[in-house]
Structure 1
Amino acid sequence: MKRRKILKSLSTLPFLGSLSMQSAAAAPLKKKRDVIEELGIRSFINAAGTLTYMSGCIMDEEVVETIENTSRHFCMIDEVQDKVGEKIAKLVHSEAAMVSCGAFSAMTLGLAGILTGLDIKKVEQLPHLEGTGMKSEVICQKSHNERYNHAFLNTGCRVIEVETVEDVRKAVSEKTALLHFLNIEASHGQIKHEEWVALGKELKIATSIDIAADVPPVSNLWKFNDMGFDLVFISGGKAMRGPQSAGILMGRKDIIAAARLNAPPRGFTIARGHKVNKEEILGMYVALDKFISGDHDKEWKGWEASIAHIENAVKNIDGITTKVIVPELGNITPTLTISWDDSIVKLTGKELRDKLRYGNPSIEASFAGLPLYHYQAGSDSVDPALVETLKGENLIRVTAWMLQPGEEKIVAKRIKEELSSASKPG
């Protein structure tokens, strides 16, 4: 091609580019499919907290991007777990770590790892323990034996309850596989964290702790590894804002290696159904990394400001009493209790919750001392008599840590509207 023709061709490129840009600008943007709206599923403002039945949390934007980006690639699951496990272990001060499908899964996998070691034959035999030479009992304090310990029963083990150090010594036998501790119940048991770990070391039995929802504070991510627990279980879809179906198992290297043998992608194990895909494993790592490096003081001040905004909107209504507390254990975040004199405000806690739930926009809050799922028809999680008593209590509880920016104003406005309306004469 002659030089003149080449130059002429090049001279048209800006024009063609302009046409292309104009064409793109003129083309209507494709509307993204809203499946929630399409199926008529209720979405809501979450003023209750990181409850599983409420879908946990809204994932961090960077986590969502990670899941989307990694979904376009094939990876070997074991390699993903290897690489991510190494990174997580360093972040949480443990010898090793892996991503599980929630804290419950981490509990099953951790115990399975203790029972089987690296013996493939034993892995294949779980949960059938008789005649295998495997241990079959988990010891925990009576107040720590709550429904999530069913994760241990999945391995074929049974749970032995104790109350004192002497009880532990008497209960320990050649069948004992694990001494388990529930962090949220630490104040209710006679044996505290350090003493539990010391007992495990003395008796040469592995110790574990369930801290499923117990961040913040962020230091809890490594506190119990540093303390000497052999296994730590935590959820990923709560304060860390990772995938709701992910969790982390961390602890001793030999146990984590054995737990991995009991986990997918292997298909001959009790935990085959505990699949975590590459997107969730990588998303969980990003969530943890971002959570640890976050500005937690700023975040806390934001929660306090949101709670103060809601409290200030309702506290001067006749008959209303407000109180802000920070739980000592569990979800350690500012929590607002709004209660009232039922001779002035003609409303029960359940009625206010229903008005918020079925209003527009829909808002979920807790009331009394329990999350709302305990009050749903057919729930057997709580004594029915207690449920009926709590339904009549004139209070609700509100948290701010799952609120999106600006939602505290909506929550404050709606609660004020309903309480004011119920307190009007006649």
Structure 2
Amino acid sequence: MDAHRNKTVPFLGKISTFLLSAMMVVAIMGPAQALGFQEETNDYNQYSGEVVDESTNKPLVFATLAVEGTNISTISNTEGNFLLKIPKNVISQNVIVSFLGYKSKTVPLSQLSEEGNKISLEISVTQLSEININAPKDATALVRETMAHRDDNYFENSTLMTAFYRETIKKRRKNVSLSEAVVNIYKTPYDSNRDDAVELYKSRKSTDYSKLDTVALKLQGGPYNTLYVDIMKYPEYIFSPESMSNYKFWFDRSTRINDKLIYVIKFNQLESVLEPFYQGELFIDVENKILTNANFSLNITDRKKAAELFVRRKPARVNVWPTQVSYRVDYREKNGKWYYGYSSVTMEFKVDWEDKWFNSIYSMNAEMAITDWENNMTGELPRNRERIKKSIIMSDEATGFSDPDFWGEYNIIEPEKSIESAIKKIQRQLRRTERNSD
């Protein structure tokens, strides 16, 4: 593995930041028009439905649906619902539906209806006898070996990816802000120390700041917050050679993904380490030494130190600190090589006003899913003025939800019912405001 960027700050500590102020004072210049997309047409078929557990009928959250023989894919939402758009010239392929710990299912497109599809997956049971076959004895050594095999197992070519990005802000259970975007990601090879670049293609938002108690709360970094959760591309944020010694790794259980034996390795920082590091689970293909998935969270032992990592700006009379910061990343396989497919960041924090009896609880979620990709043969990155800045605030950059055909043929993650309700409510409020001002 090449020597990667030397980052001493914790994972996403300088990228995933909150911006709080009594007034909205941040202005972001609009990025240039993105490249690589065709004009919108109706030359596609659309399928919607849900993915559930076969025995319990419970929704499977963030299940992957990929069209066989193509690079087209999508993700089910937190209610198990999915929306998949496929060009009409792709008519004979199958959809591969997969979920961590379940048997993958192949569904012919010809068997899918436009809506109301229900795809059930069966839990994959691993026999105890399988676990003992060539079982590694040292969890730490397996993690180190997996990181060392990165250049062999992940994309070695430059790739131009289409991705769907969404971020939401909630006050307790009420949706306050929703921003979405379709972006181009110029993914550099995994053995390269060049950062990926992002271009904004389209974006939209729905915001009701009246629920924020006069505090304008914003997430800075936009898609970069999720992009940097790709820990195989950016190991310096969590598993740099120097930081590995801060962790304890141990074997927890095994499962199967796409008929491959997967070891689940848990990790946590050593008790002697005082700085905030991480705890979580790594899903590793034992035979090939490949990280297929990871879930982890920041250890918040000192709320002042945690606040310094994430709170960029706030009013003087307000104390703000995170109570939860968690991450997820999923990888996908194509022709024997793996690549970044989906990631999410969830942050919960308290806002405590000095002159109020009660504090407020807010949550932020950012997620991004790769919906299509192609080889970037030249390997060229966009010019700086065409890229999204890492300081972008998507809720400032995006426009409204007025165009019903805004997303055209691009795959998005189906919105939750609560989000849809919030959008409709805010739209009604905006229309009433416009009528009253006329």
Q: TM-score, normalised by structure 2?
A: 0.24
- Greater strand percent: which structure? 2
- Greater helix percent: which structure? 1
Q: TM-score, normalised by structure 1?
A: 0.24
Larger radius of gyration: 1
